[in-house]
Structure 1
Amino acid sequence: MGQSNVKNYLHIVFSTKYRKEFIKGPIEKELHAYLGGVCNAMGCQAIIVGGYTDHVHILCKLSSRVALMDLLRNVKAKSSKWMKTKDESLENFSWQRGYAAFALRDNDAPIVINYIKNQHAHHSKKTFKEEYIQLLEDENMDYDEKYLWD
C-alpha cells in the first residue's frame, strides 16, 4: 500500500502542578489559543482547547508523524515558559508530569467538543480530581490513585 491514511482523534487532559488555580481571567483564553497553536505547529490539528482554573482539555488530531509523548512534551514545555512571561503571579507556573489521552472515533468528536465547551458549568458540580478519575473509569483504564497527583 503506497498511501497512508490516518485520523487519530485524541482527547488529552492534564492539570497544573498540585492543581493550583493559575488559569483564570483573560489568561485562560490566551492559554487555550496558545496550546492550540503549539498543536497546530506540530501538525496535530487542534479542534478545541478548554478547561478550568487548574487543568486543560485538548481535542486534536494526532499527526502520523508525531509521537504522543513528543506532542505533550512540547505543548507543556512551550506553554509553561509562555505562561511565566505573562505575569509575575505566574512565575511558578508548571504542569503536572502526567496526563491522560483517550482515542476517539469520528462520531464521538462532537460529544467531546461539547464536553470541553461546558467545562465551567461542569466544574460548578465536580472537582478536577473527581472528573479525572471518572474519565479514567469510563475508559476502563487501570490506575493507582497514589501515583495520579503531583
Structure 2
Amino acid sequence: MKIEYNNLYTHFILTTYKRVAIISEKNRERIEKYITGIVSHQHSKLYAIYANPEHVHFLVSRSPHISEEELLEIVSSSTERFINSNKLVAGKFAWQQSASAFSVSKSDVDRVCKYILNQPEHHKKTTFEEEYQKFIEHYQTGINNQ
C-alpha cells in the first residue's frame, strides 16, 4: 500500500568507537554536511545535526520506505568511509556497533532541534555519559513502569 503522508521523526545518536573524542571542530561541519546529504539521498529530511567530538546527534523526518536501522546503517557505513578516505581523523575512524534512535512527536520537533543545535553549551555542564543516561531514563520510563 502506498503511504501518502508520514510523520516519522527520529532523533539519532551515533557514538564514536570506544567513545573516543576524535571528531575535530575543524572537520565538524564537513561531516555534518556529508550526513545531511546521505539523509537527503534516502528521501528523508534532516532538521538538525551536531557532531560532538565523540558523538553525533541528528533529527530526521524519515521516509516510510526505510527503517531507522536501515537509515542508520547507511549513514554510519558511508561516514566511516568518507572520514577515513579523506583522513579527517588521525588513525582509523569507526562508529560503535550500536546506536540510539528515539521517536519524536511533531510538537517536540522545535524543542529537539534547539537541543541538538545547543550541544556546545549543553556539554559545558553535562558530560556525554550523563546526557546519554538521561535519555535512556526518559525514554524507558514508560516501558519500565508497565
TM-score for both structures, normalised by structure 1: 0.88
> Gaps (5+ residues) in structure 2?
none
What is the correspondence of 1:12-27 to structure 2 with a 5 Å cutoff? Answer: 12-27=12-27
SS at 1:37 equivalent: helix
Equivalent in the alignment of 1:4: 4
Q: After TM superposition, which residue ranges in structure 1, 4 or more long, deviate above 6 angstroms?
A: none
Supply the distance in 2 between the matched residues of 1:103 and 1:118 (Cα, whole angstroms): 19
SS at 1:36 equivalent: helix
Question: Comparing 80-89 with 96-105, which one deviates more in the overlay?
Answer: 80-89
What is the correspondence of 1:116-135 to structure 2 with a 5 Å cutoff? Answer: 116-135=116-135
Equivalent in the alignment of 1:74: 74
Question: Quick one: which amino acid aligns to residue 101 of structure 1?
Answer: A
State the percentage of identical aligned residues. Answer: 25
Equivalent in the alignment of 1:44: 44
Question: Comparing 75-84 with 126-135, which one deviates more in the overlay?
Answer: 126-135
Aligned-residue RMSD, C-alpha: 1.9
Supply the distance in 2 between the matched residues of 1:88 and 1:14 (Cα, whole angstroms): 17
Distance change (3 Å), C-alpha of 1:3 and 1:70:
closer
Equivalent in the alignment of 1:101: 101
TM-score for both structures, normalised by structure 2: 0.90
SS at 1:139 equivalent: helix
- C-alpha distance after superposition, 1:33-58 (max 9, x if no partner): 11111111011111111131100011
Equivalent in the alignment of 2:86: 86
CA contact (8 A) 2:13 2:99 kept: yes
Question: Quick one: which amino acid aligns to residue 97 of structure 2?
Answer: R
Alignment length (residue pairs): 143
